[in-house]
Amino acid sequence: MATQPLMNTYNRLSVAFDHGKGVWIYDTDGHKYLDALSGIAVTGLGHAHPAVTQAICDQAGKLIHCSNIYTIPLQQKLAEKLTNISGMDNVFFCNSGAEANEAAIKLARKHGHAKGIDKPAIIVMENSFHGRTLATLSATGNRAIQAGFEPLVSGFVRAPFNDLDAIEQIARHNNDVAAILVEPIQGEGGIHMAAPGYLEALRKICDDKGWLLMLDEVQTGNGRTGQYFAYQHTSIMPDVVTTAKGLGNGMPIGACLAKGAAASLFGPGNHGSTYGGNPLACAAALAVIDTIEKDSLLTHAASLGQYILDGFHIELANTPYVREIRGKGLMIGIELTEAGTELAVLAKVKGVLLNITGGGKVIRLLPPLIMTQAEADLMIHTISQLIRVYAGDERDS
């Protein structure tokens, strides 16, 4: 018999939080921490942002939920905002990144069947992460999180990330492919970025073969990389884009955007969500987008991200324990030469929240877009000193 009322699904750190303000979050004992993780790329505007708080409070006093069998004006307004920003044609709203990716998978299959493919397949990448529902778990390129949940959903063909030859090989020999699903930056996989020209080459392959190019921007979207979407660092336009996380600054909301032929695949009854795009979530997301635009946070994220990368390169120069420092905007990874899973606990003791991903070897930093240079300096110095001490290069002070 279980002794705890919560299912044992998380390896939680021994801390509970009470409130937050900006980049700072306070535990139930009153200790404060610099949140360099943003709830895993969620609270891009920091904690208790006044514009988001006001939007939620105002909307909660009017209407929290209205079924999607009726018109929801805030949902329409948010859809117009996102399509204008992205260049996409339309959007389906849901509650999470996994749900957004489920919608994308369904679009790919609908597209395949429209082309006469009996069992449409989607090319996905090794080391990827797309969610924990059964279909998105099957699409994910991490055997460790799939184990124990077989049989997995069929219809996924795997290729190494950044390997165009592998994609072209599949294109030559597999006539059932209908789409490619790829992250512009692999977040859970360890902050691995698409190589220069990779997304452009995938776009050309998809155009030549009649496939959909689907980008998982659940983590990279909403300003995280210094553009609203990471693909906007390139010249391409995808057919499908998914996002969530930072869209609501903590209010659960996800979105699946489509363009061209992909935008007309769904009809009434093909897909849906009870809570997706409810007035409360849309009000929060509109406040997030308005704040990003008004406060020029895309430019800030790009410049501050480069400042942080430069700072870590200086502080960690000649540290043998560090293999590589990489990132784009405020999505930064410090790859270690060996596993350092204890560093998340040690960082918490020092008052900084981060996490370790990429097989336990990559320190992942996803600080809020509102972080100041002074706060960035504190983060850089604290984490760099922690790494050097952990590597045995200097004493703790």
Cα–Cα distance, 166 to 148 (Å, whole number): 28
**Catalytic entry in 92, 129, 156, 229:** 129
Q: What is the number of H-type helices and E-type strands within the chain? A: 12, 17
216 is catalytic: yes
What is the DSSP annotation of 267-308? -TTS---SSTT-HHHHHHHHHHHHHHHHTTHHHHHHHHHHHH
290 is catalytic: no
Task: Indicate the SS3 state at residue 361.
Answer: coil
CA dist 174 → 65, 115, 117, 147, 226 (Å): 45, 14, 11, 26, 37
**Catalytic entry in 35, 110, 239, 245:** 245
**Catalytic entry in 35, 110, 161, 216:** 216
Contact 271, 296 (CB under 8 A): no
245 is catalytic: yes
Give me the torsion for CA of 323, 325, 327, 333, rounded to 10°.
70
Contact 121, 155 (CB under 8 A): yes
CB-based burial label for 151 (10 Å; 0-12, 13-18, 19+): exposed
Contact 88, 82 (CB under 8 A): yes
State the catalytic residues.
129, 216, 245
